[in-house]
């Protein structure tokens, strides 16, 4: 058999999947290692997908997606972020992961460097590498509440740096970038002529702070604008399996987007697109219910960690808590989560799944039923 391409041979194991698959295979385990919303989907969303199949509307759609869906995304973006992007900049994609791949395909030439958060979502590095880019982690330190610092990022910029990835609210941290810092990030990209890919998967879930989209501070002049915004309905409406999201490009790149989309997936499945129109334009009870559930879970999980003296980052967004278990993990949190699952029947994502700074930390997903979450965290050893 011929060899695989070098970049495919090097794709690392996803440590979140590794522990979660072990947990699924453990009878009775409490699974707190994966961020999968668990509520029943709203009926009108399912019906819209099924009606599309009933009509046999199963042909190709335009590369960029069904116009009504592009408009629904643009409307939501204007309402939530105060930015008028116009539907012609909205490209419908197979979930945020394909949006990230799409954006990086447009922006990275072999050997180009892409700045990613450490700790940060694992596929930022995996996708960059698969596209022959070089991921460079910018540090988010515990002593700065895991917020990025302009000087740390600036120190990593070289003539090969092309892209800065931002992710607010953050997976795994639950941290949110405030307005001033977001503006400074866009200015940094302007100073060094970088693209920004802003992953806003969790934009619907912030707690007492606003979500700030970097697109607000971008130029609207073609040739100067530099922010790509990645959106998904996977988290907002729990539509993970329908694979539906949008990539918003800077003005002036619309035609190029079509050509690249054609060569990646051509277009997204039409039932998913119709379900997404129903989700975005119909009743929003699902989102408010999910928001209340995550907030309540965040509060009860925080109370358990406090009672045990376990340090954690106070989450302002997304549905994760980031906790310091260095008192038990013995310098190898990836092995420790396996041992903890075997001995206590609870799974957490090891912090090392998100980068080197995650050693000694775990990510706790807040999607489970509250009783399971409290029971699972109750089994953690206290820090004396």
Ligand X SMILES: Cc1ncc(COP(=O)(O)O)c(C=O)c1O
Residue 214 binding ligand X, by CB under 6 A: no
Residue 14 binding ligand X, by CB under 6 A: no
Query: Which of 168/304 has CB closer to ligand X?
Result: 168
Phi first, then psi: give them for residue 227, nearest 5 degrees. -105, 120
Residue 199 binding ligand X, by CB under 6 A: yes
Residue 171 binding ligand X, by CB under 6 A: yes
Q: How far is the CB of 252 from ligand X (least distance, A)?
A: 25
Contact window for ligand X (CB under 6 A) among 91-99, 259-267, 275-283, 295-303:
91-99
Residue 32 binding ligand X, by CB under 6 A: no
Among 35, 58, 31, smallest CA distance to 235 is for: 35
Query: Is residue 131 within 8 Å of 108, Cβ to Cβ?
Result: yes
Residue 118 binding ligand X, by CB under 6 A: no
SS3 content of the chain, % helix, strand, coil (to 5): 45, 15, 40
**Which single residue brings its beta carbon nearest to ligand X?**
95
Of 254-313, which residues contact ligand X (CB under 6 A)? none
**In angstroms, rounded to a whole number, what is the distance separating the alpha carbons of residues 12 and 334?**
14
Query: Which of 155/264 has CB closer to ligand X?
Result: 264
Query: Which of 217/354 has CB closer to ligand X?
Result: 354
Residues linked to residue 347 through DSSP beta bridges, in sequence order: 31
Of 340-379, which residues contact ligand X (CB under 6 A)? none
> Concatenated DSSP letters for 163-231?
EEEEESSPTTT-----HHHHHHHHHHHHHTT-EEEEE-TTTT-BSSS----GGGGS--STTT--EEEEE
What sign does the dihedral 167-171-176-181 (CA atoms) show?
A: negative
Residue 234 binding ligand X, by CB under 6 A: yes
Q: How far is the CB of 199 from ligand X (least distance, A)?
A: 5
Among 367, 362, 354, smallest CA distance to 379 is for: 362
Per-residue binding string, ligand X, 34-73, x by CB under 6 A, is -x--------------------------------------
Contact window for ligand X (CB under 6 A) among 61-69, 92-100, 182-190, 266-274:
92-100
Q: How far is the CB of 166 from ligand X (least distance, A)?
A: 10
Among 45, 77, 96, smallest CA distance to 286 is for: 45
Residue 212 binding ligand X, by CB under 6 A: no
Residue with tokens 């997404």: 276
Site for ligand X (CB under 6 A): which residue of 147, 240, 284, 300? 240
Among 61, 17, 69, 29, smallest CA distance to 276 is for: 69
Site for ligand X (CB under 6 A): which residue of 33, 87, 118, 167? 167
| Antiparallel, parallel or unpaired: β 312-313 and 346-350 | unpaired
Residue 20 binding ligand X, by CB under 6 A: no
Query: Is residue 352 within 8 Å of 359, Cβ to Cβ?
Result: yes
Query: Which of 96/108 has CB closer to ligand X?
Result: 96
> Concatenated DSSP letters for 138-153?
EE--GGGTT---HHHH
Residue 121 binding ligand X, by CB under 6 A: yes
Query: Which of 214/380 has CB closer to ligand X?
Result: 214
How many residues at the interface with ligand X, by CB under 6 A?
13
Of 94-113, which residues contact ligand X (CB under 6 A)? 95-97
Query: Which of 34/304 has CB closer to ligand X?
Result: 34
Contacts of 23 (CB under 8 A, 6+ apart): 29, 31, 33, 341, 347
Residue with tokens 């109750």: 378
Query: Which of 271/380 has CB closer to ligand X?
Result: 271
Residue 319 binding ligand X, by CB under 6 A: no
Residue 322 to residues 202, 311, 362: CA-CA distances in angstroms? Answer: 16, 9, 6
Residue 232 binding ligand X, by CB under 6 A: yes
Residues interacting with ligand X, by CB under 6 A?
Answer: 35, 95-97, 121, 167, 171, 199, 201, 232, 234, 240, 245
């Amino acid at each position: 058999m011929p060899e695989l391409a070098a970049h495919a041979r090097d794709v690392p194991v996803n440590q979140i999947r590794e522990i979660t698959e072990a947990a699924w295979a453990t009878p009775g385990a409490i699974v707190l290692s994966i961020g999968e919303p668990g509520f029943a989907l709203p009926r009108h969303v399912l019906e819209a997908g099924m009606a599309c199949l009933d009509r046999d509307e199963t042909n190709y759609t335009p590369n960029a997606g069904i116009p009504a869906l592009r408009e629904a995304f643009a409307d939501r973006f204007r309402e939530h972020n105060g930015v008028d992007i116009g539907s012609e900049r909205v490209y419908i994609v197979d979930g945020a992961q394909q949006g990230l791949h799409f954006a990086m395909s447009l922006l990275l030439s072999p050997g180009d460097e892409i700045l990613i958060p450490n700790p940060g979502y694992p596929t930022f590095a995996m996708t960059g590498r698969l596209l022959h880019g070089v991921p460079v982690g910018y540090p988010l330190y515990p002593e700065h509440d895991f917020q990025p610092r302009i000087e740390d990022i600036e120190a990593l910029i070289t003539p090969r740096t092309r892209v800065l990835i931002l992710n607010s609210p953050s997976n795994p941290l639950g941290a949110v970038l405030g307005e001033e810092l977001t503006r400074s990030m866009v200015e940094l990209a302007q100073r060094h002529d970088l693209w920004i890919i802003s992953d806003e998967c969790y934009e619907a879930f912030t707690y007492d702070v606003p979500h700030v989209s970097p697109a607000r501070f971008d130029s609207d002049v073609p040739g100067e604008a530099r922010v790509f915004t990645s959106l998904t309905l996977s988290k907002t409406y729990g539509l993970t399996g329908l694979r539906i999201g949008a990539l918003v490009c800077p003005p002036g790149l619309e035609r190029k987007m079509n050509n690249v989309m054609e060569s990646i997936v051509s277009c997204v499945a039409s039932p998913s697109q119709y379900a997404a129109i129903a989700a975005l334009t119909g009743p929003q009870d699902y989102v408010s219910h999910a928001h209340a559930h995550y907030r309540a879970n965040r509060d009860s999980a925080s109370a358990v960690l406090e009672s045990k003296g376990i340090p954690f980052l106070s989450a302002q967004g997304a549905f994760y808590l980031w906790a310091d278990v260095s008192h038990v993990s013995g310098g190898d949190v990836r092995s420790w989560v396996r041992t903890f699952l075997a001995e206590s029947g609870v799974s957490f994502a090891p912090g090392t799944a998100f980068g080197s700074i995650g050693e000694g930390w775990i990510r706790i997903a807040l999607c489970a039923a509250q009783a399971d979450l409290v029971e699972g965290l109750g089994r953690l050893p206290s820090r004396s």
